[in-house]
Structures are given as structure tokens and as C-alpha cells.
Structure 1
């Protein structure tokens, strides 16, 4: 019954937001980097901070005691990202808020207590880099929602059947939010896009869960629950550096962009393939007893080879 109420509340909240976004012209206009060709409502990812607020209402005492720092970090990064969706902010302002949010996230996971101080800067770089990877990959219908659903589902399985590292509802609420969001986004003509508030919001939540899991288990392999995103972004940035391009400028060099923009493959198919690849990685990762370095080699050698082969083929076909 609780989850049915949550789904209704999330759906109504998003429909109300659509009215507000339409009234105040919060839209995404196609540009040279876009994989879409029509004006669409932006900021549908506001459903993720709303999901956390609903989580707090249903778990008030626990939220106040255990999840306050995570909540402050999530709301801070979502607020600044939503403002950035509406009007462009300076990099200094955005980065400052991101740093504050990451501090709150690391406090929530216990990293400052469990990890030596010299590791803290590394954690900052990894988390902020992963957040930006989430943002970079949010470019076609369904990608953010389906990929996050796979990772959250994997985390829910780990929490239930392998080791409980958090409140079950703390994973199920963002799953429900993804499902509601995908109802409006996972379609040929999306009703809305996630926007920065969505990619940063769900990215922050997923990263928080993975960091919490790593701190509880001391199993660093779980960072590979986001390995497909990580490989795509790292290889694309490396390619742009080799081509002497400005990596901070908008581009269309991601593999998913080449398939969607040049090859004209359905956004829904591309998003589903990326999510399915991550699902296969997660199944192997969760049940593997091999050393971490062996797991990394098994995952990245074949997937990296396939990635580079597909990209080379597409670039040759379209003279890119």
C-alpha cells in the first residue's frame, strides 16, 4: 500500500511540475549537440529530490537521525542544478555547491572516519567525476532512467540477499521514481527530459548508495556497478584530448550519440543496450569471487575492445 501511495504522489508531483514548466517556459531547445529535434519540457528529474522528501515523510525518525546529511547534499546539488537548467550559472558557483554536497555525502557514508585523510581528495575527484559522467550520458530518451534502474536494482538485490547496508526503502524509493520518470521519458517522443537536476539528483543518490556499500563491506569492486558509464566517458575524453579538442565544450562523440545521431538507431534501443550491458557486468560482479584486478580485466578488456571497434567503424562510415 505504501509503495502505491508513493507512486501516486510522484506521478501527481511530476504532472504538477509539467504545468509549471509549461507556464514558465522551462524547456529544452534542440542544438548542435542534441539527439532530439523537438522542444521538450526540461527538469523532469525533479522527481528524484521529491522522492527523497516523500521517503523522509514515511520514515521521519530515521531520516532525521541517519539521512539528514545525505538529504542536505541531495537537495543542495538538485537545487543548484535546477537553477542551472533555467539559467546558466558560473562554473565556480556550481563547483562550490558540488563540493559541499560531496562533503555531506562522505560524512553520511562514514568515509571521513573509515578512510585515511590522504584518500579524501581521491574520493572527491572520483565522486565529482562520476556525477559529471552521469550528466554527460544524459543525452537520449531513457538512458538515465533505465541505466539507473539497473544499478539500483542490483543494489537492492545486494542489500536483500548478500549484505544489508541500508534501509530497504532508501533504495526502493529512487527505483519507484525512476519508473515514474521513465513512463514520461522512455518513449519515442519524450514528454520530458531529466535535465541537470535529474542526472545530478539520481547520480548523487546512486553514488551515495555505492559509497555506503563500499564503506560497509570494504569491497571496492562495487564501483564497477557504474563501469559502462565510466568506460564510455573516460574513453571519449581520452579521444578528445588526443584530437586536441576542448573537453569542456559540447560535443557528439559519445558512442551512444553516434548511434542515435548518425546511425539513427532508436533512442530506446540504444538506452536499453547500454543498461543491458551494465546488467551483465553487475551479475558477474556480484557473484564473482575473483581478485579485483582480475575482475577489472575481465570486464574492461572485452567491453573496451567492443566499444573501440564500434566507434572506429562508425567514425569510418560517417567520416568523423
Structure 2
């Protein structure tokens, strides 16, 4: 793809993002901080709408290749955007999510496989989309982490095995650069919103799914290991504390680092990106090796993550309910 064409895409996405800011400002599509927020000022919500818009631009130019994926993305992005501004009924939102995931499976031709693979894929996709939504809480984390993932996938496509459209990866990367320009800063101009976190999760899941199906190598799910680990163990700790896991909260490790230890949002986001970068490098180096090395990488990260949480947060904070914790203070 020529540099001049990439620049045209980049400028186009930048203009479209600025147009959305005008619309959001006109219709008061903003995020007001509350007691659960990790930010303190009113900010435009839904800046991540540039992700599905970028895919739509790509589809219009390239004749709607991967039509099931694109339709699913537009559906899940639309309902997520409406949920950002209206707060939809959960049944409506979940129904559209399920339909979009099924369209994704059609794109992967997954229904030709045994039923248990479909079930595993359903769990993986739904969990990843929700994890991305949960993890989108501080400046730079969603944009930075996603840009790293797309860059890694591009490297794999170009240097390890061709599994998808290089142009598609570049388009998504450019959209992420535009979003990061406005979000990866001390005072963010915009937040991704549900439309951003859900749509980029859907896109990344689609691409990783393509890679796994092409290589028959399940190890590539480790490209999302940091997000997955933080989400899974945060839910586990909340269950142990007998909290309602469906209620909004600030229990993630990244939230502890930014809200309680007062590390800057950008520093915490960079820590997460760097941690995933190291995993990605090791994962690529281990390509072709036996599965035991991938498992060792997985468990080594889990041990490091849990050790850090126990050391920094403490056993009482992680495992005891607020009432029990308070009574022992």
C-alpha cells in the first residue's frame, strides 16, 4: 500500500473524527465523571466510532469483502453507540451482540466444525468483547493496547504467515492512530465509549480468529493475555468477595494503579502495552516450538501478575469483602 494512499486514509479518518466531535458537542454526547470514574473532567464520549467507520470506508472501496464480518461489526457498533447515548434494554443489546457473533462465525465458516468448537469460540468471543469493555477505563489503554495488537498481527501477516488482508490491518492501525492522538494524552479529548471498545474488540477477535484458523495454533490467543488475565482475576476476586460482578466497579489492577497508587493514566497504559509487547515477542519467537513453551509463558505471566497484585494491593483488599475488610482495619 503506497504511502500517499495511507496519508489520504489518515487525513480522512482525522477529518471524520473531528466531524464526530462537532456532532457529539452539538448533541451533548459527553462523559460526566462519577464516583466510579477514573477521570475528573467532562469529555466527549464515543470517539471510538472511528473504528467501524474506518472499516466501512475500507469496505466501500474494496467491494464489501468479508460481508458477514462487516454486517456484524456495523450491527454491534450501532447498538453500542445507541447504548452510549440512550442506555438500551439489556435484552436488545445482548440479542444484537449474539447475532453479530453468529455472523462472525459464518465469516469464519465455523459451523462446518464440531459443535464444541463453536461453543468454545462463542465463550472466547463474548468474553473478549466484555473484557475490552471492562478494561476501557483510563486514557490510552484501549487505543495503545489495540494498536500494539494490530501491529503484531501485521508483523505476523508479513513475516510469519499471511492470514488476512494487509490493507485491512493498516486501515485499522490508522484509525487507532487517529483515536490515540485524541485519547492518549493527560487530558483526553475523547473516550472510546462502548461503540469504540466493543467495535475494536470485535475487529481484533475477527483477525485473531482468522490467524488461529489459518495456523491451527490456539496459542495466538495469548495476544490478548494481559487484558484477559486482568479481567478474569478481577471477576474471580469479586466473586470471592461476594460482590455483584455485573455492577460497575473500580476493581481492576489498572484502576488500582491509577486511582489508589496515583500513577498517571499514560504510565499505567504504557505498562500494560509493554507487558503485552514482551509476551507478543516471546510468542512469535516460540512459533513452531512445542506447546509446552507457550504454556510456560502463560503460567509465568499469571504468577507475575498475581504476585504483583498481592504485593501491591494486599490479601485483605483482594479477598475480603468491604465490610470484613473494614472490621479488621
Q: TM-score, normalised by structure 2?
A: 0.92
User: What does residue 59 of structure 2 align with?
Assistant: 56
Structure 1: tracts of 5 or more residues without a match: none
1:319/1:247 CA distance change after superposition, 3 Å: closer
Cα distance, 1:28 vs. partner?
0.6
Structure 2: tracts of 5 or more residues without a match: 319-329
Cα distance, 1:138 vs. partner?
0.4
User: What does residue 100 of structure 1 align with?
Assistant: 99
SS at match of 1:36: coil
Cα distance, 1:166 vs. partner?
1.2
User: What does residue 12 of structure 1 align with?
Assistant: 15
User: What does residue 244 of structure 2 align with?
Assistant: 246
State the 4+ residue runs in structure 1 displaced beyond 3 angstroms. 316-320
Cα distance, 1:140 vs. partner?
0.3
1:319/1:242 CA distance change after superposition, 3 Å: closer
User: What does residue 254 of structure 2 align with?
Assistant: 256
Q: Distance in 2 between matches of 1:7 and 1:84?
A: 28
Q: Distance in 1 between matches of 2:160 and 2:74?
A: 30
User: What does residue 177 of structure 1 align with?
Assistant: 175
Cα distance, 1:94 vs. partner?
1.0
Is 2:90 aligned against 1:87? no
User: What does residue 37 of structure 1 align with?
Assistant: 40
Is 2:39 aligned against 1:28? no
Counterparts in 2 of 1:1-320, with a 5 A limit? 1-60=4-63, 63=64, 66-113=65-112, 115-288=113-286, 289-301=288-300, 303-316=301-314
Q: Distance in 2 between matches of 1:307 and 1:149?
A: 22
Q: How big is each residue's C-alpha offset from its partner over 1:251-284, in whole Å with a ceiling of 9 and x where there is no partner?
A: 1110000011011101111111101111111111
Cα distance, 1:110 vs. partner?
2.0
User: What does residue 326 of structure 2 align with?
Assistant: none
Cα distance, 1:206 vs. partner?
0.4
**Does the Cα contact within 8 Å between 1:77 and 1:201 map onto a contact in 2?**
yes
Q: How big is each residue's C-alpha offset from its partner over 1:6-35, in whole Å with a ceiling of 9 and x where there is no partner?
A: 111100001000011011110111112211
**Does the Cα contact within 8 Å between 1:141 and 1:268 map onto a contact in 2?**
yes
1:117/1:183 CA distance change after superposition, 3 Å: same
Cα distance, 1:296 vs. partner?
2.2
Q: How big is each residue's C-alpha offset from its partner over 1:138-189, in whole Å with a ceiling of 9 and x where there is no partner?
A: 0000000110011111100111111111111111111000000000000000
Q: How many residues align?
A: 314
State the superposition RMSD in angstroms. 1.5
Q: TM-score, normalised by structure 1?
A: 0.95
